[in-house]
Chains A and B, each alone.
Chain A
């Protein structure tokens, strides 16, 4: 996959449309990563335990996200050169950048979560109410499976009680805080409590991955800022993410 990309991309960088590159990169990364990551996703959906953290930490997810991110960044650059003055204010550029990064993140989620769909659909200002219907059907499936596992094991119940205290008195407080949380996660303003909590867990992992990727990218760029662009293999491998 790497050799294919590095050989064909650079000459056609400025000429071909970004969408072509996105499609090609996505197909390549999807073909290599789709099988394993989808299996991971399916496994996490059924297990519901610590396995749910795996998809966002896997290498392939990271790679697909970074590939999408690069494409999004190039789109931002090209659009900024074409449309506005070459150097708009830093904040506007940063915001457009962040939106592109969020979009790349949402695409990497492959549409399985609410917040990713909300990010993507906000761009086109469409209201896909029909898309939300299948989701509540999926949620009770996950939750009932979790409840069945909890009802079967008495030992897990004991562990749970000692860790988190959730009594009748604190339910309004919890509800209030969950509403606040729902406002932070995109697309969850009007969802029910378990939906917001589940979306929040996924969103936090995705954000962490985004931060890691952008940080390493920034280090790469600032590290090689003075060096000449001498193709690949300059000897410096990217830092382990």
Chain B
């Protein structure tokens, strides 16, 4: 096992274990796979699949929120914008 690791590191500089580490870090970010981390074995492809769908969800949420916010902001006046600003920079 260590032989394979050193060989792959010399050849491409990117070993499986490093990719494994990164995938684990990614898994800890996902809300669904975070709780079942200790009990189940989660395959790397599943983690990547969940990551893709999670990013798409976040994109969609940001789109919806930005549409809503743009409508809301277009109707408020400058005094309210100042109020929001002061609240946010407390």
Contacts and interface: CB of A to CB of B under 8 A. Distances in A.
A231 interface: yes
A53 B52 CA distance: 19
Contact of B22 (A87, A165, A194, A217): A194
B86 A147 contact: no
A34 interface: no
A157 B18 CA distance: 11
Contacts of A95: 66
Given A74-B81, A164-B20, A177-B49, A67 B37 contact: no
Contacts of B51: 181, 200, 204
A174 B22 CA distance: 13
A147 to B, nearest CB: 5
A197 B62 contact: no
A147 B9 contact: yes
Contacts of B87: 220, 232, 236-238
A218 B43 contact: no
Contact of A214 (B16, B22, B66): B66
B10 interface: no
A128 interface: no
Interface residues of A, number: 85
Interface stretch (A106-114, A118-126, A205-213): A205-213
Contacts of B69: 73, 97, 214, 217-218, 221
A53 B80 CA distance: 34
A9 B85 contact: yes
Given A94-B63, A204-B58, A211-B65, A229 B19 contact: no
B78 A13 contact: yes
B7 interface: no
8 contacts: A10-B79, A94-B70, A147-B18, A164-B43, A166-B19, A180-B52, A204-B30, A229-B83
The 9 closest A-B pairs by CB, nearest first: A229-B79, A94-B67, A177-B48, A197-B22, A98-B66, A232-B86, A97-B70, A97-B66, A214-B65
Interface of A: 1-2, 5-6, 9-10, 13-14, 25, 50, 52-53, 63, 66-67, 70, 73-74, 76-77, 80, 87, 90-91, 93-98, 101, 140, 143, 146-147, 150-151, 157, 160, 162-166, 170, 173-174, 177-178, 180-181, 184-185, 192-194, 197-198, 200-201, 203-205, 207-208, 210-211, 214-215, 217-218, 220-222, 224-225, 228-232, 234, 236-238
